[in-house]
Amino acid sequence: MRWVEPEILAELETELDGPELARGFARDYATLWDQRFSRLAASVQAEDRPDALDAVISMRITSAMVGGIRLASLAQALEDAIRRGDFVQGNALLAGVAEHGVRTVSELQANYILKND
């Protein structure tokens, strides 16, 4: 199972006129994963709808940009739960988001960031 779609990273390289900026973006994404997830988890657990929405939308968009389509899809499900005010479902989805995030970051590092450094 792939966690990162290389075609999307290739598109990002094209949009950014070369691989350097795309690799930098991917590197920053990987570096910030723990911080990004911690903020999301804390806001969902606190039932802070505005902060949770901000965190999950950021995660969904950036994950899609680096080819993490599975994670982006799960983040969309979490976003939908937050919009409905369903924090029970939101909390239930956090474990999956954490797992998908770790796997996405690992694959991104192994197959893109480190491979191209």
Q: What is the DSSP string of the chain?
A: --SS-HHHHHHHHHHTTSHHHHHHHHHHHHHHHHHHHHHHHHHHHTT-HHHHHHHHHHHHHHHHHTT-HHHHHHHHHHHHHHHHT-HHHHHHHHHHHHHHHHHHHHHHIIIIIHHH-
CATH number at residue 73: 1.20.120
Average pLDDT per 10 consecutive residues for the chain, totaling 117 residues: 96 95 97 98 99 99 98 99 98 98 97 83
Query: 1 lies in a domain?
Result: no
Query: 106 lies in a domain?
Result: yes
Query: 80 lies in a domain?
Result: yes
Query: 86 lies in a domain?
Result: yes
Query: 99 lies in a domain?
Result: yes
Query: 15 lies in a domain?
Result: yes
Question: For the chain, what is the total number of helices (H) and then of strands (E)?
Answer: 6, 0
Tally of domains in the chain: 1
Query: 60 lies in a domain?
Result: yes
Q: Please tell me the predicted confidence (pLDDT) of residue 1.
A: 86
Q: Domain containing 101: what range?
A: 6-116
What is the tens place of the pLDDT at every residue in 44-71?
A: 999 999 999 999 999 999 999 999 999 9
| Predicted structure pTM score | 0.94
